[in-house]
Structure 1
Amino acid sequence: MATFPSNPIMSLTAEQPRHELGESYGPELRLADLLTPELAELELGYGTAAGDPRLRTAIADRHGVRPDDVIVTVGGMHGIFLLAYLLADQGGEVVTTAPLFPMTRNAFDAVGAAVKVVPLTFDDGYRLTAAAVRAQLTPATKLVSLATPQNPSGVAVPPETLQEIANAMAEVCPEAYLMVDETYRTASYGDDAVAETALRLGPRVVVVASLSKCHGAAGLRIGWVVSMDAGLIERLTTAKFSTVVSASPVTEALAVRVFEQEDAILGERRTWLEQNLQLTQDWVSANSDVVEWVRPSAGALCVIRLRPHVDLGRFRRTAAELGVRLADGDWFGDEPRVFRLGFGYLPPEDLKAALDALREAVRAAY
């Protein structure tokens, strides 16, 4: 019987602890930030299968494509699941990485894909190489699934590496698609440049993202898939209609408002993320005898690793007693001593308090 694999990451949707360091997004927008008098007149009927034309236009403009190249989904994971279902069900070969956001891996497992994994490690800084991906490609490959920046590490895949991977796919499996999850792409730090979308790599490249992470609007459940392959967009639209009919017209209208204010929203968050990243970096430096980290490229998340002499079991127990929640590395297929630390969710003063409690937990296990 087909089923969805369980993963403890679902615990992040449970009651919030005293010190939340497990979340992977920045500060949350409030409904009041988006409401206008015109929204009160919105008719509560079905939306369109592809998505509100105004919303698709806003997304298209940010990717340099046409609105017809965009389909709005119910969160980014909906788009990933539909791509897995359409491209890799019943034994279709998928090449992806580990560690990996567990719900993405779950989507591949749920549709019965044959998953081939490129391992990434803390010691190598989670650097992905084109050679490692190419070694997993065969003529039967249907989909290559990557994220940049990655979850949980926040490490980006360099554009030249993505180009080499696309070139290798054109040689080995020219009918396969390269799916790039760009969920954290626009969550840069301060004045850091925002990476270019991977869509430029060619017509067999598909990008997925959402408003959940960079924009702090996870509650809208708005994501998208962008592809210049008209046939794939048509299949995705039919698949979306067959699963959810449409996204909510209410949240689509609110998403349009998010894009109308995007420069201000992202600008404020980049300042917030830059400040909190520095707090986290300073904390790691001050506690380098018990922890180490890999500095992220973008996004509101990073990974830390406990030094070998820290008692892992005692650390977990003490952290729980102090109300500190991290995201366990083994949720993502990483080593047990690694944890995802979300530094973008809390205001700086609350982040300082959470890091103080985390230090207490690590020191107690030293």
Structure 2
Amino acid sequence: MPTFPRNPIMSLTAEQPRHELGESYGPDLRLADLLTPELGDLELGYGTAAGDVKLRTAIADRHGVRPEDVVVTVGGMHGIFLLAYLLEGEVVTTAPQFPMTRNAFDTVGAPVRAVPLTFDEGYRVTPEAVRAQLTPQTRLVSLATPQNPSGVAVPLETLREILDAMSEVCPDAYLMVDETYRTAAYGDDPIVDTALRLGPKVVSVASLSKCHGAAGLRIGWVISTDADLIEQLTTAKFSTVVTASPVTEALAVRVFEQEDKILGERRVWLEQNLRITEDWVNANSALVEWVRPSAGALCVVRLATDVDLERFRRTAAELGVRLADGDWFGDDPRVFRLGFGFLPLEDLKAALDALREAFRAAR
């Protein structure tokens, strides 16, 4: 009987600990930030299968495509699951990886060929490593940029070379690029262009959950310039959830109307918290090391070999510190995802101080 694999990452939806360093997004928006008197007149009927046209237009405008190239989904994971279901067949992806993405492939029974990424190599994806996993049976290549858990980006030139390899080995396959963290840049860093501009075999998936602080809206999207694929996705969406909520779609339009302000404030927040985290890692280099992320509210850290792993886990729990375990993502047990974008500055400093105490106690 098909089932959904259970992963301990579900614990992040449980009660929040005193020092939350496990989350992968920035501060939450509040409903009051989005409400307008006009929303009170919204009729609570069904929406449309593809999604509200105003919302699809807002998404399309930011990606240089047409509204009809966009399907609104119930969060980004809904879109990934629909793609995995529709493009049944072999999947080439990475390890480590966001566990819910891997679960989608496993749930639909897709054979998976993994490209190994490592801390020591900075989680760098190479065209050669991806090509080595491609076969004529490959139907989907799944990559995230920036990645979850590392926050490391895959350069557009690397994606272009991967597409060239796919055109030779598996020309009918699609390259799905999870761009969930693409717009979560630091300070004055430029926002990288969407991978969609690389060609019609690229499918982009993202949501409002991470960069915009609106995870509670459960609004994501899939974008493709392949009309047949969009038609299949629209039918698949209707067959699973009928439509997204017109209420949250209307609120999502409000998010996009305020996007410059929202992202501008978060750029400052993320840059500030990244700098605090970097200084903390440098000050505690005998205990921990990291891979500096390209964008997003997350990074990975690795414990020194003389830190007792199990004692660290116990002490961190006693101190109310939560990290995301590396083995949730298929990474080394000494690696952890550290979310630095969730807490305000002083709370982040306090959480990192408590984390240092747990490291020292376990050394």
Determine if the TM-score, normalized by the shorter chain, exceeds 0.5: yes
Stretches of 4+ aligned residues off by more than 2 angstroms: none
Deviation sequence 1:137-160 (CA, Å, 0-9, x none)? 111100000000000000000111
Q: Is the aligned partner of 1:25 residue 2:37? A: no
Q: Is the aligned partner of 1:306 residue 2:293? A: no
Instruction: Give the drift of 1:298.
Output: 0.1
Structure 2 match to 1:233: 230
Task: Spell out the pairing of 1:1-366 with structure 2 (5 A cutoff).
Answer: 1-88=1-88, 92-366=89-363
User: So what's the TM-score if we normalise by structure 1?
Assistant: 0.99
Q: 3-state SS of the aligned residue for 1:363?
A: helix
Deviation sequence 1:70-127 (CA, Å, 0-9, x none)? 0000000000000000002xxx100000000000000000000000000000000000
Q: 3-state SS of the aligned residue for 1:263?
A: helix
Q: Distance in 2 between matches of 1:285 and 1:341?
A: 15
Instruction: Give the drift of 1:346.
Output: 0.3
Aligned residue identity for 1:159? L
Stretches of structure 1 that go unaligned for 5 or more consecutive residues are none
Task: Quote the sequence identity (%).
Answer: 84
Aligned residue identity for 2:76? G
Q: Distance in 1 between matches of 2:229 and 2:50?
A: 12
Q: Distance in 2 between matches of 1:310 and 1:159?
A: 38
Aligned residue identity for 1:333? G
Deviation sequence 1:20-77 (CA, Å, 0-9, x none)? 0000000100000000000000000000000000000000000000000000000000
Root mean square deviation of aligned Cα: 0.3
Q: 3-state SS of the aligned residue for 1:135?
A: helix
Q: Distance in 2 between matches of 1:302 and 1:350?
A: 18
Deviation sequence 1:144-193 (CA, Å, 0-9, x none)? 00000000000000111000001110111110000000000000000000
Q: Distance in 2 between matches of 1:260 and 1:277?
A: 27
Deviation sequence 1:327-363 (CA, Å, 0-9, x none)? 0000000000000000000001100000000000001
Instruction: Give the drift of 1:201.
Output: 1.0
Stretches of structure 2 that go unaligned for 5 or more consecutive residues are none
Q: Distance in 2 between matches of 1:70 and 1:63?
A: 10
Q: Distance in 1 between matches of 2:198 and 2:304?
A: 40
Q: Distance in 2 between matches of 1:252 and 1:73?
A: 10
Q: 3-state SS of the aligned residue for 1:82?
A: helix
Q: Distance in 1 between matches of 2:90 and 2:198?
A: 21
